Amino acid sequence: MTSLAPAPTRIVPAAQRDLRNRTSIGETVRNTFTMAYRGLVKIRRTPEQLIDVTVQPIVFTLMFAYIFGGAIAGNVQDYLPTLIPGILVQTVITTSVVTGVQLREDMDKGVFDRFRSLPIARIAPLSGALLADTVRYAIATTMTFVVGFLMGYHPAGGFGNVLLAALLVIVSSWAISWIFAFFGVIARTASSVQGISMLVLFPLTFLSNAFVNPDTMPSGLAWFVNINPISHLVTAVRDLVNNGTVGTDLWISLLGAAVIVAVFAPLTVRAYMRKV
């Protein structure tokens, strides 16, 4: 009796495997939306992930309004047109840190190793996470305006300009999330991502015109506040919701968002591809 020898295993070169794993743009988009849906399912199953975008706007708005309102504007009502846009920008921008933290946690848990074995675009888990977090930004934006409305804030710019301001903040936060996604890929732990991110964000958000007029600050500090990109974003939001006008600050904010994406998106994707 003769036995059949097993066929020799054919080793496929790495470059050829990469060619096989390439997906079309349409498939990449579909995979991205699938991964974004996964992110939303995670939020639904662990609703405590929404604490920062639901509780923080309430606490910060009440705290700043009733502590600083009388001292800065004479009363709370007169302070709200200044405060609400500042709280909005601070809350949503801070929320973008979660992108990098959760990305690092998923990579540490081996979730992305499992994704690598699936027939999906390699970039989809990253792009899907960034897309899913825009829902968090929208929730934070809505909560901030709702709290302001309940406190008596009525934007003079009208509903259309409020929507435009909300879209501006969400787009800007999505752009900034690329920075924290980059930290999430290259950092060693999720706690280090959060620590680095807050070290960057806190000076930018508090050393801005979000809560206080820079004219009351020392000259050196006022100079920094006036060139701070957060200040430009806050001013753009105030112009829209309070006056219904589109100023130079809006275009500066959009340009800044485009520059951030142009710089950090390739860096993040390159570092991510090396990891997965």
- Tell me the per-residue pLDDT of 85-140, one tens digit each, with 9 for 90 and over: 999 999 899 888 888 888 888 888 877 777 777 777 778 888 888 888 888 899 99
Q: Give the pLDDT confidence score for residue 31 in this predicted structure.
A: 85
- Please tell me which of 26-30, 128-132, 155-159 the model is most confident about, judged by mean pLDDT: 155-159
Q: How many DSSP H helices and E strands does the chain contain?
A: 12, 0
Residues sharing a CB contact under 8 Å with residue 122, sequence separation 6 or more, in sequence order: 21, 116, 273, 276
Instruction: Indicate whether 12 pLDDT > 50.
Output: no
Please, what is the average pLDDT of the chain?
Answer: 84
Percentage of residues in the chain having pLDDT higher than 70: 91
Q: Give the pLDDT confidence score for residue 175 in this predicted structure.
A: 94
- Look up residue 139 and give its two tokens: 């929730």
Q: In three state form, how does the secondary structure of 159-215 look?
A: HHHHHHHHHHHHHHHHHHHHHHHHHHHHCCCHHHHHHHHHHHHHHHHHCCCCCCCHH
Looking at per-residue pLDDT, the higher value among 163 and 216 belongs to 163
Least confident of 164-178, 185-199, 234-248: 185-199
Least confident of 32-46, 60-74, 132-146: 32-46
Q: Give the pLDDT confidence score for residue 10 in this predicted structure.
A: 42
Contact 190, 108 (CB under 8 A): yes
Q: Give the pLDDT confidence score for residue 4 in this predicted structure.
A: 47
pLDDT band at 230 (very low <50, low <70, confident <90, very high): very high
Looking at per-residue pLDDT, the higher value among 105 and 24 belongs to 105
Q: Give the pLDDT confidence score for residue 165 in this predicted structure.
A: 95
pLDDT band at 258 (very low <50, low <70, confident <90, very high): very high
Distances (CA, A) of 95 to 45, 78, 99, 115, 146: 19, 27, 8, 25, 18
- Look up residue 69 and give its two tokens: 């309102």
Q: How many CA atoms lie within 13 A of 179 on its CB side?
A: 20
Overall average pLDDT of the 160-167 stretch: 95
Looking at per-residue pLDDT, the higher value among 1 and 65 belongs to 65
Q: Give the pLDDT confidence score for residue 146 in this predicted structure.
A: 93
Q: How many CA atoms lie within 13 A of 146 on its CB side?
A: 13
Instruction: Indicate whether 6 pLDDT > 50.
Output: no
Looking at per-residue pLDDT, the higher value among 117 and 171 belongs to 171
d(CA 153, CA 87): 13
Phi-psi region of 152 (alpha: psi -120 to 50; beta: other; left: phi over 0): left
